[in-house]
Every structure is written in structure tokens, then in C-alpha cells.
Amino acid sequence: MSTGTSFSSLVSGALIAAPMTKGSNLPFRLLCMELGARVLISEMVVARRLKQRKRGEFALIRRAPGEPVFGVQLAGNKPEEMAWAAALVESRQADFIDINLGCPIDHFTRMGLGAALGRQPGRVRRIVEAMKAAVKVPVTVKIRLGWKADQLNYLELAKAAVDGGADGVFVHGRTREARYRHPADWAAIAEIAAAVPVPVVGNGDVLFPHDFHDHMAHSGCTAVMTARGALIKPWIFREISEGYWEITAEERVTIYRRYVELALSHWGGDDYGRERVRDFLRWHVGFWCRYVPRRADGSWPTMQQREVLEHPRSPLEALLARTDDPALDYVTDQLLGGGDLSAPPPVPEARPDTRRDMRDDPVEAG
């Protein structure tokens, strides 16, 4: 545990694996670590559920073996409850504790959590103060730009958190209303970085290594965070240090099989464990199929639009690019069962294109 260590020294120059509901499960964090991630954050943890001794919530604050830097993200709106939860999380070896002020899910915003709490800078300041008094590890906040386009309060919110003692600010460069429908506003992220005297970490639309390096060079951020980018291509962490990887379909499958190994080790190989693994694996396969490499002309796909792989280099690559349910289920079951992926189901008859673009992703990073 990094008691007494500054937040900047923990994260400086890193591509951070974002806190994602379901996505930041422990086996996936282990996979990202093996691929080069050095700062990782738990799924969003509800402070009240910890106080109620909910077993599932306690599972979310478990640090993975060998996790180099591990942050826990807490959601709550009562200073004393958040302070209690922060002390508990610190005792479980968290390196820093983040406050969720960005979750857009209706279930949580109706309870005054996540993005709804981000509308109350004064309360946020009091929560940060209470948590800082309860722990020695750094306390940070993760914010959006505001509730919606005509209610931007990011500077006020960031400054209130810093006034309360926050050691750093994570910024998802979109509003709650926007979800993922617009590109992240990195100009606003840079504005926050210039306005507060603590490290700022920018978040939004990081899919290839040049995205990371460009934002580090021009935003004034101490580090950069990725959510969907890591889900689509967990090897993005290796690319940050080694450059773009022209990865083959076979190499991708090796990575996916490694996730299955880690998941079975974590949840167990009995019927219950395998059911859990399949649930998470099927969810991940729904992101892995979205990977499209650098285009033939040297240009790059973007995060905001799902692209079709026009010229797969092999039958396996064609299978991995399919987004229909029969293919996704087949890939899931073959990976879980150790199959060779050599007999995929027929491609369904062509229907009107109903694929959503990536702006409506269901992923909710805290």
C-alpha cells in the first residue's frame, strides 16, 4: 500500500485502466497487467453496500495478486459513510481512492449518486474533506463535464473537490446526457488541467497509441485513462511502450484464451464458476469483435464509429469480426471449452444494417 505516496508519483505517464461496471473484473485486470497496464481501478463500489456487508460488493475491492497500482472507486453521497468506506478500502490495500461523480446510469443517479452528485459541488467538497480525514492514501474524484450541454460545471466541480483536499481529478470529457454520442472534449479536459493545482487524468476515445501520446503532449494531463479502448483491444497497454501492434487473429485468440484461464482460476471450474466465466466472457467477446486494425491506406479507425473489417486476412479473422449472436455465442463457447474455432456457424442472411455505432455503447465507466 502506498501510504504517504503522492498521486502524481503513482500515475504519472500511465495509460490507466478505467473503472468499468463489469469490465473491470479482477481476471480482466490481471490480463491487462500481463499486457503492460500498471495502474488499474476497481469497478464502482457502493459505500452503503459495503456497510451492509454485501458479499458481492466486498469482492469488488479485492486487489489482484501483483497488481502494481490499484485504485478503488467508491460511490456514495454521505460524508460519514464515504469516510468509513474509504478507511475500509485503505485497509484492503488500495493505493488510492476515487469518488464516482460520473456514473450516468439512471438507477444510481435517482439515488443521488454518480453524475447526480456531480451537480452538488458543495457536498462533494464535504465528502472529500471527510475521506481525507479518514485515510492517508490519495483521494481523487472522477467527473464529467456536467449534467448536459447547457449545464456545464466542470471547473466549479473540480475546484470544489480540490478545495476539499482532493489529490487528483479524473475527467471524462463528456456530459452525463451525452453518454458516448459525441467525441470527448479534450479542450475542456485541458482547461481543467490548467485550472487546478493537482494532477488531472483525461479520459475519452483512446484506441490507438497515437491517441495516448497526442493527449499527453497537448492536454497538460499527468496521465490518460482508457475504458472502451481497453475492452476492445486489451493489448493497447503494450502498444503504449512498444508501438502499434499489427496483431494477427491467432495472437488475438491467444490473448482471449488467457483471459479464460484467468477467469476460471478466479471463479472456479465447477458448474457455478463456469457459468460466471461464460457470462463475463460473452460480454467481453461483444467488445473484442469490434477490433479493426489500421486501414490499408495508413489511416486509423476512430472510437466513435464501428467499422466493418472489409478485407479479413484469414477465415479466423473474419470470424472474430462477426457481430451476429450465433458467431458471438460460438466464439464464447469455443474459447471456454478449448475448441479450435474451425467450424463457425453460417453467416445469417443479410438484413438491414441495424448495428449501433459506438456512441451508444452500454459500457458505463465510473
Q: What is the DSSP letter of 304?
A: T
Q: Which of 104, 100, 60, 175 is nearest to 363 (CA)?
A: 104
User: Grid coordinates representing 350?
Assistant: 443479410
Angle of the 154-163 helix axis to the 186-195 helix axis, nearest 10: 30
Who's near 218: CB < 8 A, 6+ residues apart? 186, 190
Q: Rounded distance, CA 365 to CA 259, Å?
A: 20
Q: Which of 207, 223, 232 is nearest to 28 (CA)?
A: 232
Which of 32, 103, 221, 289 is catalytic? The answer is 103
Name the residue with cell 458481492. Answer: 56
Q: Which of 100, 108, 30 is nearest to 70 (CA)?
A: 30
Q: Rounded distance, CA 146 to CA 174, Å?
A: 8
Name the residue with cell 452528485. Answer: 117
DSSP characters over 59-123: HHTPPPTT-SSEEEEEE-S-HHHHHHHHHHHHHTT-SEEEEEE----HHHHTTT-GGGGGG-HHH
Q: Rounded distance, CA 67 to CA 40, Å?
A: 8
102 contacts 365 by C-beta, under 8 angstroms: yes
Q: Rounded distance, CA 26 to CA 7, Å?
A: 22
Question: 32 catalytic, yes or no?
Answer: no
Name the residue with cell 451508444. Answer: 360
Main-chain phi, psi angles of 205, to 5 degrees: 65, 35
User: Which residues participate in catalysis according to the annotation?
Assistant: 103
